[in-house]
Amino acid sequence: MRVFLTGGRGGIGSAITEQLTENGIDTIAPSSSELDLSSDFDCSAYPEVDGFIHCAGINILARHENINASEFSRLFKINTLSFVSLCSQLKIKKGGSIVGIGSLYATTTKEERIQYTMSKHALHGAVKTIAIEKAKEQIKVNMISPGFVDTAMTRRNNTEQRIADLNSMIPLGMVNSQQIASMCVYLITKNTSITGQNFIIDGGYSLRGL
């Protein structure tokens, strides 16, 4: 079995690569220099795959009145449009699976997240639409939306007190990247009938009211 993975160098992407390898799955994970998702790329040279996981993504904070058009275009291409293009360009076997890594911001938002939120809402719409269009090939298309994930980047960008606060406010505590990776592996290797769905993995964070 062979899977094409974007964003394979990040905290979640590395965990996905690790678990795919542990399950005997060959992973094609080009770096951003090898495949620039913000450009008009061509993937015709890549071999046929059984699955595709889109984990690449960037987040640029800005209020709606301060959006930079060039930055927004780059973010939207990487987070959303590249997913659509790869679903079209990659040679995915009949019966294969596609997984888009979303976010809680695919269904909610907060201040200064307008660009990221728009891209993840659009990714959610793309997953549902492509799921319908790929069904004739028995290709399943789903999304996994992580909440707060305990990665090295999360710990670099937050104080120990902030990490402790997050763990106390999330019913099951912060999720880890291995939990996201496990769901990816299931959807790629075991899933035969689930498509067009968004799996929120957030330790119960989204269950709480304001």
- What amino acid positions are annotated as catalytic residues? 103, 116, 120
Cα–Cα separations (whole angstroms), residue 41 to 46, 89, 98, 99, 188: 12, 10, 19, 20, 25
